[in-house]
Amino acid sequence: MAKPKLFIITGTSGAGKTTISNAIVSKVKNITKVITCTTRPMRKGEKDGVDYRFFTKEKFESFIRKDMLVEYAKVYDNYYGSLRSDVEDAMESKKSVLLSVNVAGALTFSAKFRGAITIFIKTPTLEILRQRLEARGKNTPEEINKRIELAREELTFEKRYTHIVVNDKLKDAIDEVKQIVLSAVKD
Protein backbone atom coordinates (compact mmCIF):
# COMPACT_ATOMS: atom_id res chain seq x y z
CA MET A 1 0.00 0.00 0.00
CA ALA A 2 1.37 3.44 -0.96
CA LYS A 3 2.23 5.86 1.81
CA PRO A 4 -0.20 8.80 2.01
CA LYS A 5 1.14 12.05 0.58
CA LEU A 6 0.50 15.72 1.30
CA PHE A 7 -0.50 17.80 -1.72
CA ILE A 8 -0.59 21.57 -1.56
CA ILE A 9 -2.38 23.34 -4.39
CA THR A 10 -1.94 27.06 -4.67
CA GLY A 11 -2.11 29.84 -7.19
CA THR A 12 -3.36 33.31 -7.77
CA SER A 13 -6.92 34.35 -7.01
CA GLY A 14 -9.03 33.32 -10.00
CA ALA A 15 -6.58 30.72 -11.35
CA GLY A 16 -8.92 27.83 -10.52
CA LYS A 17 -7.19 26.22 -7.54
CA THR A 18 -10.42 25.59 -5.60
CA THR A 19 -12.28 24.17 -8.61
CA ILE A 20 -9.33 21.93 -9.49
CA SER A 21 -8.90 20.80 -5.87
CA ASN A 22 -12.57 19.86 -5.59
CA ALA A 23 -12.37 17.92 -8.86
CA ILE A 24 -9.32 15.98 -7.64
CA VAL A 25 -11.02 15.00 -4.38
CA SER A 26 -14.04 13.75 -6.33
CA LYS A 27 -11.96 11.84 -8.94
CA VAL A 28 -9.13 10.31 -6.88
CA LYS A 29 -9.66 7.59 -4.28
CA ASN A 30 -8.04 7.80 -0.86
CA ILE A 31 -7.53 11.55 -0.79
CA THR A 32 -9.16 13.99 1.61
CA LYS A 33 -9.26 17.76 1.53
CA VAL A 34 -8.64 20.08 4.46
CA ILE A 35 -11.25 22.84 4.28
CA THR A 36 -9.76 26.33 4.57
CA CYS A 37 -11.18 28.68 7.18
CA THR A 38 -11.96 32.28 6.23
CA THR A 39 -13.57 35.47 7.43
CA ARG A 40 -14.67 36.55 3.98
CA PRO A 41 -18.39 36.57 3.22
CA MET A 42 -19.88 33.44 1.72
CA ARG A 43 -20.44 33.72 -2.03
CA LYS A 44 -23.61 32.62 -3.78
CA GLY A 45 -23.63 28.84 -4.18
CA GLU A 46 -20.99 28.20 -1.49
CA LYS A 47 -21.66 25.98 1.51
CA ASP A 48 -20.09 26.32 4.93
CA GLY A 49 -17.89 23.30 5.65
CA VAL A 50 -17.76 22.31 1.98
CA ASP A 51 -16.17 25.21 0.12
CA TYR A 52 -14.74 27.00 3.15
CA ARG A 53 -15.37 27.13 6.88
CA PHE A 54 -16.71 30.61 7.51
CA PHE A 55 -15.94 32.39 10.79
CA THR A 56 -16.26 35.89 12.15
CA LYS A 57 -13.12 38.00 12.36
CA GLU A 58 -13.31 37.79 16.17
CA LYS A 59 -13.48 33.99 16.16
CA PHE A 60 -10.62 33.70 13.67
CA GLU A 61 -8.48 36.05 15.76
CA SER A 62 -9.17 33.85 18.79
CA PHE A 63 -7.78 30.91 16.76
CA ILE A 64 -4.64 33.00 16.14
CA ARG A 65 -4.25 33.93 19.83
CA LYS A 66 -4.71 30.30 20.90
CA ASP A 67 -2.19 29.04 18.28
CA MET A 68 -4.86 26.81 16.72
CA LEU A 69 -3.79 27.43 13.11
CA VAL A 70 -1.00 25.72 11.17
CA GLU A 71 -0.91 28.70 8.84
CA TYR A 72 -2.89 31.83 8.17
CA ALA A 73 -2.69 35.01 6.18
CA LYS A 74 -4.68 38.17 5.78
CA VAL A 75 -5.56 38.63 2.12
CA TYR A 76 -7.83 41.38 0.76
CA ASP A 77 -8.78 42.35 4.34
CA ASN A 78 -9.96 38.83 5.17
CA TYR A 79 -8.25 36.05 7.06
CA TYR A 80 -7.61 32.62 5.53
CA GLY A 81 -6.04 29.70 7.33
CA SER A 82 -6.00 26.03 8.26
CA LEU A 83 -6.92 24.76 11.69
CA ARG A 84 -4.22 22.58 13.21
CA SER A 85 -6.84 20.04 14.32
CA ASP A 86 -8.25 19.73 10.76
CA VAL A 87 -4.78 19.10 9.31
CA GLU A 88 -3.87 16.59 12.04
CA ASP A 89 -7.19 14.74 11.64
CA ALA A 90 -6.73 14.56 7.87
CA MET A 91 -3.15 13.31 8.16
CA GLU A 92 -4.20 10.60 10.63
CA SER A 93 -6.88 9.35 8.22
CA LYS A 94 -4.36 7.14 6.35
CA LYS A 95 -5.41 8.93 3.17
CA SER A 96 -3.42 11.41 1.15
CA VAL A 97 -4.24 14.98 2.11
CA LEU A 98 -4.93 17.88 -0.22
CA LEU A 99 -4.81 21.51 0.84
CA SER A 100 -5.91 24.36 -1.40
CA VAL A 101 -4.35 27.49 0.05
CA ASN A 102 -3.07 30.89 -1.00
CA VAL A 103 0.58 31.37 -1.91
CA ALA A 104 1.61 32.59 1.56
CA GLY A 105 -0.09 29.57 3.16
CA ALA A 106 1.52 27.18 0.70
CA LEU A 107 4.99 28.50 1.48
CA THR A 108 4.34 28.10 5.22
CA PHE A 109 3.03 24.54 4.77
CA SER A 110 5.86 23.42 2.52
CA ALA A 111 8.39 24.74 5.05
CA LYS A 112 6.70 22.83 7.89
CA PHE A 113 5.95 19.63 5.96
CA ARG A 114 9.05 18.63 4.02
CA GLY A 115 8.21 16.25 1.21
CA ALA A 116 4.88 17.89 0.44
CA ILE A 117 4.05 17.91 -3.26
CA THR A 118 3.32 21.49 -4.21
CA ILE A 119 1.33 22.47 -7.29
CA PHE A 120 1.12 26.06 -8.49
CA ILE A 121 -1.93 26.86 -10.66
CA LYS A 122 -1.80 29.89 -12.91
CA THR A 123 -3.58 31.35 -15.91
CA PRO A 124 -1.74 31.70 -19.23
CA THR A 125 -1.51 35.50 -18.80
CA LEU A 126 -2.46 38.20 -16.32
CA GLU A 127 -4.93 39.56 -18.89
CA ILE A 128 -6.76 36.21 -18.92
CA LEU A 129 -6.73 36.27 -15.13
CA ARG A 130 -8.29 39.76 -15.22
CA GLN A 131 -10.99 38.51 -17.63
CA ARG A 132 -11.81 35.59 -15.32
CA LEU A 133 -12.02 37.83 -12.28
CA GLU A 134 -14.28 40.25 -14.15
CA ALA A 135 -16.47 37.39 -15.41
CA ARG A 136 -17.05 36.23 -11.82
CA GLY A 137 -18.89 39.49 -11.20
CA LYS A 138 -17.98 39.36 -7.52
CA ASN A 139 -15.36 42.09 -7.27
CA THR A 140 -15.22 45.80 -7.91
CA PRO A 141 -12.70 47.11 -10.47
CA GLU A 142 -10.56 48.32 -7.55
CA GLU A 143 -10.60 44.86 -5.94
CA ILE A 144 -9.72 43.26 -9.28
CA ASN A 145 -6.76 45.62 -9.65
CA LYS A 146 -5.57 44.63 -6.14
CA ARG A 147 -5.87 40.96 -7.06
CA ILE A 148 -3.90 41.46 -10.28
CA GLU A 149 -1.13 43.28 -8.40
CA LEU A 150 -0.97 40.52 -5.79
CA ALA A 151 -1.00 37.90 -8.57
CA ARG A 152 1.96 39.62 -10.21
CA GLU A 153 3.86 39.33 -6.91
CA GLU A 154 2.73 35.72 -6.27
CA LEU A 155 3.91 34.62 -9.71
CA THR A 156 7.48 35.44 -8.66
CA PHE A 157 7.26 32.44 -6.29
CA GLU A 158 6.11 29.86 -8.84
CA LYS A 159 9.57 28.30 -9.26
CA ARG A 160 9.48 27.23 -5.58
CA TYR A 161 6.79 24.65 -6.34
CA THR A 162 7.21 21.02 -7.38
CA HIS A 163 4.82 21.46 -10.33
CA ILE A 164 3.43 24.40 -12.29
CA VAL A 165 0.11 23.88 -14.09
CA VAL A 166 -1.20 26.44 -16.55
CA ASN A 167 -4.99 26.50 -16.37
CA ASP A 168 -5.81 27.45 -19.94
CA LYS A 169 -8.59 24.88 -20.31
CA LEU A 170 -10.06 23.68 -17.01
CA LYS A 171 -10.52 20.04 -18.06
CA ASP A 172 -6.88 19.81 -19.19
CA ALA A 173 -5.64 21.42 -15.96
CA ILE A 174 -7.72 18.99 -13.87
CA ASP A 175 -6.34 16.06 -15.87
CA GLU A 176 -2.77 17.30 -15.43
CA VAL A 177 -3.15 17.70 -11.66
CA LYS A 178 -4.86 14.30 -11.44
CA GLN A 179 -1.86 12.70 -13.20
CA ILE A 180 0.54 14.45 -10.79
CA VAL A 181 -1.42 13.11 -7.82
CA LEU A 182 -1.77 9.58 -9.18
CA SER A 183 1.93 9.40 -10.06
CA ALA A 184 2.93 10.56 -6.57
CA VAL A 185 0.71 8.13 -4.68
CA LYS A 186 2.17 5.20 -6.66
CA ASP A 187 5.65 6.00 -5.33
Q: Which domains does the chain have, with CATH numbers?
A: 6-35+85-186 (3.40.50.300)
pLDDT of 8 above 90: yes
∠ CA(15), CA(58), CA(137), 5° rounding?
30
Distances (CA, A) of 12 to 2, 33, 76, 88, 123: 31, 19, 13, 26, 8
Taking only the tens place, the pLDDT of each residue in 107-133 is 888 888 888 999 999 999 999 999 999
Amino acid type, 119: I
In this structure, are residues 113 and 92 in contact, taking their beta carbons and an 8 Å threshold?
Answer: no
Give pTM, 2 decimals.
0.87
DSSP code of 158?
A: G
Binning pLDDT at 50, 70 and 90, where does residue 1 land?
very low
Taking only the tens place, the pLDDT of each residue in 54-63 is 999 999 999 9
Taking only the tens place, the pLDDT of each residue in 36-56 is 999 999 988 889 998 899 999
In this structure, are residues 7 and 106 in contact, taking their beta carbons and an 8 Å threshold?
Answer: no
- Quote the pLDDT of residue 2: 63
Taking only the tens place, the pLDDT of each residue in 160-182 is 999 999 999 999 999 999 999 99
> How high does pLDDT run on average in the chain?
91
25-39 burial by CB neighbour count: b if 16+ within 10 A, else e? eeebeebbbbbbbbb
- Quote the pLDDT of residue 104: 81
Chain centroid to CA 182: 19
